[in-house]
Amino acid sequence: MYSIGIDVGGTTTKIGLVDEDGKIFKQDIIDTSTYVDINDFVDAIEQTLRPWMQERSHLACKGIGIGAPNGNFYTGSIEFAPNLPWKGVVPLADLFETKFKLPVIITNDANAAAIGEMRYGAAKGMNNFIIITLGTGVGSGFVANGGIIYGHDGAAGELGHVIVQPNGRLCGCGRNGCLETYTSATGIVKTALEVIQKYPSSILNQKLPLSSKEIFEAAKEGDQAALEIFETTGKILGECLANTVAITSPEAIILFGGLARAGHFIFEPTERHMNTNVLRIWNNKIKLLPSMLPENDVAILGAAALVV
């Protein structure tokens, strides 16, 4: 038996076949942005999958799991995703079901990552945890009492759009001061541009335009500006997590994505500020963990685990 996992991203879409032990034994990547028509996109994925499935015609396929930005578990649609080529509501699960005659389950990419982490990674055996992806945007998946929280309309877990700074930075969602505008890869660059004003001798002044990776590299060199950038970012994230903990009382929070690769530079201030601000009953009790899955695999694994 095997499952199909599809991770739809704004730039690329990853497709994989996953066995029951969580091993990806076939995978490929297609360029999402070239498929302006959703039907061409589904056809391209079919062309990738059919030969793989034919090679394994002796094995049963359990179904297709899809993780996608703004993917709605209840409706099987991608709904108003700002970074995908298709506008409005896209009935992706229906389109795949019609083609493959297999069960298709869709959820947002952060929820898929949470399921992957719960089944194969850092949250193995946990019934209550939160995964936060610090990438181009900030996504989150909440697991409570052993299950993903989908909410009334399927859109639960939008920690990236919790307002952490009233009248703060303008967010892609049209409001101001969302967590995403501070703790995403682009958010930390914005913070960097503010902080380096105070540090004319910082090596970051020679690296413009900046990327989050360069801030990490500078921090490793002991650059004061870079260290302050991580401190500021960790403070905003840690304070937000202290509030978040009060809602679902997680055993752990898993940080994932580009910014999490900065390791202790982001983990240490985040954990310190979380513990300074959290209700005393949770003080020093919530584990802040890195993902245990290879970054390239987690979305495919999580998506595939939707149908396991």
User: Which CB atom, from 61 or from 171, has the smaller least distance to Zn ion?
Assistant: 171
Query: Per CB under 5 A, does 171 bind Zn ion?
Result: yes
Burial class of residue 241 (count of CB atoms within 10 Å of its CB; 0-12, 13-18, 19+): buried
Q: Which amino acid is at 271?
A: E
User: Which CB atom, from 149 or from 173, has the smaller least distance to Zn ion?
Assistant: 173
Query: Per CB under 5 A, does 14 bind Zn ion?
Result: no
Among 173, 189, 203, 292, binds Zn ion (CB under 5 A): 173
Of 69-77, 132-140, 144-152, 174-182: span binding Zn ion (CB under 5 A): 174-182
Query: Per CB under 5 A, does 159 bind Zn ion?
Result: no
User: Which CB atom, from 161 or from 273, has the smaller least distance to Zn ion?
Assistant: 161
Structural tokens at position 64: 């297709």
Of 93-101, 144-152, 153-161, 205-213: span binding Zn ion (CB under 5 A): 153-161
Please provide residue 27's backbone torsions phi and psi, each rounded to the nearest 5 degrees.
Answer: -155, 155
Q: How far is the CB of 168 from Zn ion (least distance, A)?
A: 10
Between β-strands 2-8 and 61-67, what pairing exists: parallel, antiparallel or unpaired? parallel
Among 78, 178, 274, 303, binds Zn ion (CB under 5 A): 178
Cβ neighbours around 232 below 10 Å, total: 17
Which of these, 254, 307, 232, 245, lies nearest to 275 by C-alpha position? 245
Which of these, 52, 63, 59, 75, lies nearest to 99 by C-alpha position? 63
The count of chain residues that interact with Zn ion, using the rule CB under 5 A, is: 4
Q: How far apart are CA 164 and CA 250, in angstroms?
A: 20
Query: Per CB under 5 A, does 30 bind Zn ion?
Result: no
User: Which CB atom, from 148 or from 171, has the smaller least distance to Zn ion?
Assistant: 171
Q: Are 182 and 236 in contact (CB under 8 A)?
A: yes
The residues of the shown chain that bind Zn ion, judged by CB under 5 A, are 161, 171, 173, 178
